[in-house]
Structure 1
């Protein structure tokens, strides 16, 4: 199960890199909860869809340096570059902790630190 969850996250991340938000969301449960620790929490696929539409107008560029799976958790550690409202690139270190349910991503706790 852990390897299957890792593969699902890798495929979901590939969709984000391509700018395919709906492809990413296909890996999420309808009631997915996306929490940026110290920031906002998005409840449900529609809220995540709206956030991605507003914040990922240009697909983020990111690398995963470590990917660890145990039980229903998958942890991705890496670096991500996004664009701010002025179009400037912002690079951050991140760690995403995903909880899977029935093979789909159900909960995210994202730790993001701007560099």
Structure 2
């Protein structure tokens, strides 16, 4: 199951970097819970869709340095770059902990820190 979950997440990363938000969203359960630790929580696919529409003005760029899977969880560690609403490219370190339910992503706990 761990290798399959990694493959699903990598497929999602490919979709999002290609600007295919719906392809990424199709990998989620309807009741997905997205938590940006210390910032906000998104509940359900529609809230995630709205967040992506408002914040992914251009597709983000990922550099995954570690992808660790065990049981129903996949942890991705790396860097992400995305433009803010002013068009400025911002670089972040991140650690995303993804929880799977069957073949779908059911939860994200994301730890994101701006690079200084």
CA deviation after TM superposition for structure 1 residue 62, in Å: 1.1
Alignment TM-score, normalising by the size of structure 1? 0.99
Alignment TM-score, normalising by the size of structure 2? 0.98
Partner in structure 1 of residue 40 of structure 2: 40
Which 4+ runs in 1 deviate beyond 3 A? none
> Contact conserved, 2:84 with 2:90, CA < 8 A, in 1?
yes
Partner in structure 1 of residue 76 of structure 2: 76
- Partner secondary structure for residue 49 of structure 2: helix
The gaps in structure 2 that reach 5 residues or longer are none
Partner in structure 1 of residue 96 of structure 2: 96
Cα RMSD (Å) of the superposition?
0.5
For this pair of structures, how many residues does the alignment match?
Answer: 115
Give distance in 2, aligned partners of 1:38 and 1:83: 21
CA deviation after TM superposition for structure 1 residue 101, in Å: 0.2
The gaps in structure 1 that reach 5 residues or longer are none
Give distance in 1, aligned partners of 2:20 and 2:56: 10
Q: How does 1:12-23 map to 2 (within 5 A)?
A: 12-23=12-23
